[in-house]
């Protein structure tokens, strides 16, 4: 049975967690969905792990659509979320065009990076039958404006701005939120105070779901891993087992642990 947006909303109501991993091709998409991972994110992190770029800024809509098609062919029933790339939601018109291409490539939902200002795009996309996940906190497409990959919402002003943005987008009709590199306490509070599921990465075990970049959790990304990464390959020694161990650890609440949070 395919995972839908309704399935995942019901999980939050029932207090059950769900798991998300990135994939960019048919083969890994199949393994990840076979392992029981509920949603697959075709992340623009493909700029880093597939293309070898130093940020996600160079990734194009054409590339996102291509990888979404590849993932959709391998998928065995997980919900497919596709990233709107850099500048893809700069205007409401752009957001509509970009989301159209990604949905027609096989996505079930699009993810937009930003803040409260995404509300207009979310409303129009919803009206046209496109569910939206709003990505808040550390938004990597804005790395040049943020001055690096840093934890967001650390001071009181930043924290209340983030909380307000989350509530605004919940009310605007976002189908999900994603928090990246947001302090644990604030992430837990946002998760409690919005109606829709919250996916965390570098956020909190209290979030309704977790996501990791597949290459990170297999321990094959170059360089020093981020604090929030756990290498599930190290303890299993097998790719299929690593995906299953991740899914289980998210669902039983053992990942993330304190050491993965800010």
Chain mean position to CA 187: 14
> Can you read off the two tokens belonging to residue 122?
């979310």
Position among 32, 37, 40, 41 found at the interface with ligand KIV (CB under 6 A): 41
Active site residue 180: yes
**Own/partner long-range contacts of 217-224 (Cβ < 8 Å, ≥24 apart):** 217/21, 217/242, 217/246, 218/242, 221/48, 221/49
- One of 19, 29, 33, 45 touching ligand KIV (CB under 6 A): 45
| Binding to ligand KIV in span 180-199, by CB under 6 A | 180
Distances (CA, A) of 206 to 27, 166, 241, 242: 31, 16, 25, 22
Q: In the set 17, 18, 28, 44, which binds Na ion (CB under 5 A)?
A: 44
CB of 140 to ligand KIV, least distance (A): 7
Per-residue contact track with ligand KIV, 6 to 25, x per CB under 6 A? ----------------x---
Nearer to ligand KIV, 43 or 74 (CB): 43
Could you tell me if residue 67 is left (phi over 0), alpha (psi between -120 and 50 degrees) or otherwise beta? Answer: alpha
Contact range with ligand KIV by CB under 6 A, out of 29-37, 38-46, 95-103, 188-196: 38-46
Q: Which is nearer to ligand KIV, 145 or 157 (CB)?
A: 145
Does residue 199 contact residue 177 with C-beta atoms inside 8 Å? Answer: yes
Residues 77-136 that bind ligand KIV (CB under 6 A): 83
Interface residue with Na ion, options 43, 47, 200, 205 (CB under 5 A): 43
Could you give the dihedral angle defined by the CA atoms of residues 223, 250, 190 and 8, in that order, rounded to the nearest 10 degrees?
120
- For residue 197, say if its preceding peptide bond is cis, omega within 30 degrees of 0: no
Smallest distance, ligand KIV to C-beta of residue 1, A: 25
Distance CA 180, CA 187 (A): 9
- Least gap, CB of 213 to ligand KIV (angstroms): 5
Which residues are paired to 176 by β-bridges? 133
Considering the candidates 93, 97, 164, 180, report the single residue annotated as catalytic: 180
Q: How far is the CB of 56 from Na ion (least distance, A)?
A: 6
111 is in an annotated binding site: yes
Neighbouring-strand partners of residue 201: 180
Question: Which residues are known binding-site members?
Answer: 44-45, 83, 111, 113
Show which residues are catalytic: 180
Question: Which residues are known binding-site members for Mg(2+)?
Answer: 44, 83, 113
């Amino acid at each position: 049975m395919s995972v839908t947006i309704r399935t995942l909303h019901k999980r939050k109501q029932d207090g059950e967690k769900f798991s998300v991993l990135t994939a960019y091709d048919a083969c890994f998409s199949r393994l990840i969905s076979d392992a029981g991972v509920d949603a697959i994110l075709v992340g623009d992190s493909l700029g880093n792990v597939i293309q070898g770029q130093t940020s996600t800024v160079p990734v194009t809509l054409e590339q996102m659509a291509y990888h979404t098609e590849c993932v959709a062919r391998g998928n065995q029933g997980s919900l497919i979320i596709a990233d709107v790339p850099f500048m893809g939601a700069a205007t409401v018109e752009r957001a509509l065009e970009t989301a159209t291409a990604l949905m027609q490539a096989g996505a079930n939902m699009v993810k937009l990076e930003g803040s409260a200002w995404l509300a207009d795009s979310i409303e129009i996309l919803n009206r046209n039958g496109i569910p939206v996940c709003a990505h808040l906190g550390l938004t990597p497409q804005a790395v040049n404006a943020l001055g690096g990959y840093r934890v967001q919402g650390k001071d009181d002003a930043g924290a209340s701005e983030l909380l307000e943005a989350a509530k605004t987008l919940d009310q605007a009709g976002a189908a999900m939120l994603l928090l990246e590199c947001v302090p644990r306490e604030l992430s837990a509070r946002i998760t409690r105070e919005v109606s829709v599921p919250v996916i965390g990465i570098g956020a909190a075990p209290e979030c309704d779901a977790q996501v990791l970049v597949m290459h990170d959790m297999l321990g094959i990304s170059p360089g020093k891993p981020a604090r929030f990464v756990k290498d599930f390959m190290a303890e299993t020694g097998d790719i299929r087992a690593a995906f299953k161990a991740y899914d289980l650890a998210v669902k039983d609440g053992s990942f993330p642990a304190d050491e993965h949070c800010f």
